[in-house]
Amino acid sequence: MPTTLITGGAGFIGSHLCERFLAEGHHVIAMDNLITGTIDNIDHLRDPRFHFIKHDVTEYMYVCGKVDNILHFASPASPIDYLRMPIQTLKVGSLGTHKSLGLACEKRARYLLASTSEIYGDPLVHPQPESYWGNVNPIGPRGVYDEAKRFAEAMTMAYGRYHGIETRIVRIFNTYGPRMRLDDGRVVPSFIGSVLRNDPITVYGSGTQTRSFCFVTDLVEGICRLLHSAEREPVNIGTEFEMTILGFAELIKQLAGSEAPIVFKPLPVDDPKNRRPDLTKAHTILGYKPSIQLEEGLRKTIEYFRSRQEL
Ligand code: UDP
C-alpha cells in the first residue's frame, strides 16, 4: 500500500486529493496548520489508512516510516488570503517547498508541486502554454503568491536535477467546487454566497476580464495522471472554456434563480485581464480531458453552499 503525504490536506483541493488517494488504496497523511484549511474538510475521512498531522510546513518536517509520494498543496490560495498573510504565503511557497522537498529526498519519495496559473501573471500570450515565461509584477501585492510559486517551481526543478528525485509540477488554473471557503473572496464562493443571501453581486472592474473554471474532481484527475506520468516539466491543468466575469455573474444568477443586482467595484491591482490554459500538453501526454460541464459543476457547488449553516 503506497503512503502519500499531502501538505495542505485540510484545504479545498488537498481534502479532495486525500479522498481520491484513499479511494485508490493509499495510506494518506494530511498535514496542515489549519490557517486556511479546516478539519471540517476531512472530518468524514474516518479510515484507519488516514492520518492528520497539524504542522506548519515552513518548519522542519518529519514523518516516520516510508513515504512514497509527497504532494505539496499547502498555501493560502485566494487573493484576499495572501494579501492578508503575505509573509506566510512567501514562506510556505519557499521554505515550505524546501522542507517538503527535503523530506522527499530523505524518503526517496516522488514529489508533486502545486503550482499555479498565477506564475503567468497578467499574461501577454493567450491562451497560456507551459512554454510562456509570464508577466509577473514582483513587487505588487499579488507578487507574494506569484513569486513564491515561481521560486517553488525553480526549487523543485533543482531538487529533481541535483538530487535526482522524481518531481512533477502542476500549474493549476481557476478551480472551484465543494469545500471552498465561503469567505475566501474568490469569485465562485463570493458570487454564490451573494445570490444565496440575496445580496448584490460585486463584479470588480467592468467584468470584461476572463477566466476558465475547472471543477475540482477534473483537476484531481489531472493531478493523479501527472503524478503517475514520466513528465518532469510543468503541466497546465484546467479547462479551456473561457468566459467573462460579468457573464459568469449572470450564469450564477440564472442557475440559482436569483434576481440579485450586479454592482461594480474597482479592479484589484494586477488583476489578470485574461486567463485560459493551453491544454495541448495535458491532452497529449496525460490524455487529460475535463468531464464536468460548467453548469453541472456550479449546480453541485451551489448545492454545497446551500447546505452550509454559515450563509
Ligand atoms: N472577482 C469579482 N468579484 C468578486 C471576486 C472576484 O469580480 O467578488 C473577479 C476578480 O477581480 C478576478 C476574477 O473575478 O478578475 C477571478 O477572481 P478570483 O479571486 O476568483 O481568482 P483569480 O483568477 O483572480 O486568482
Alpha-carbon distances of 308 from 198, 220, 305, rounded to whole Å? 16, 23, 5
Instruction: Check 82, 111, 145, 159 and give the catalytic one.
Output: 145
Q: How sure is the predictor about 223, in pLDDT bands with cuts at 50, 70 and 90?
A: very high
pLDDT of 309 over the 80 cut? no
Looking at every residue in the chain, the average pLDDT score rounds to 97
H/E element holding 214?
A: strand 214-215
What pLDDT is recorded for position 207?
98
Integer-rounded Cα radius of gyration of the chain: 19
pLDDT of 310 over the 80 cut? no
114: which 3 cell numbers?
A: 502545486
Peptide bond into 76 cis (omega under 30): no
Backbone angles phi, psi at 102, to 5 degrees: -60, -40
Encode pLDDT of 28-52 as tens digits.
999 999 999 999 999 999 999 999 9
Distance 189 CA to ligand 1 centre (A): 10
30: which 3 cell numbers?
A: 494530511
Encode pLDDT of 156-186 as tens digits.
999 999 999 999 999 999 999 999 999 999 9
pLDDT of 311 over the 90 cut? no
**Structural domains in the chain?**
3-173+216-237 (3.40.50.720), 176-211+241-276+291-306 (3.90.25.10)
What pLDDT is recorded for position 188?
98
Residue type, 207: G
For the question of residue 145 being annotated catalytic, the response is yes
pLDDT of 204 over the 90 cut? yes
Encode pLDDT of 263-274 as tens digits.
999 999 999 999
Encode pLDDT of 52-99 as tens digits.
999 999 999 999 999 999 999 999 999 999 999 999 999 999 999 999
Q: Is 270 in the pocket of ligand 1 (CB under 6 A)?
A: no
Alpha-carbon distances of 148 from 33, 125, 129, 138, 165, rounded to whole Å? 18, 22, 20, 10, 21
Kindly report whether the global pTM for this prediction surpasses the value 0.95: yes
What percent of the chain has pLDDT above 90? Answer: 99
Best residue among 149, 187, 264, 273 to mutate for probing ligand 1, ranked by most atoms within 8 Å of CB: 187
**Burial letters 173-204, b for 16+ CB under 10 A, else e:** bbbbbbbbbbebebbbbbbbbbbbeeeebebe
Task: Pick the residue whose CA is nearest to atom 18 on ligand 1.
Answer: 186
What pLDDT is recorded for position 267?
96
Distance 44 CA to ligand 1 centre (A): 30
Q: How sure is the predictor about 308, in pLDDT bands with cuts at 50, 70 and 90?
A: confident
Q: Is 204 in the pocket of ligand 1 (CB under 6 A)?
A: yes
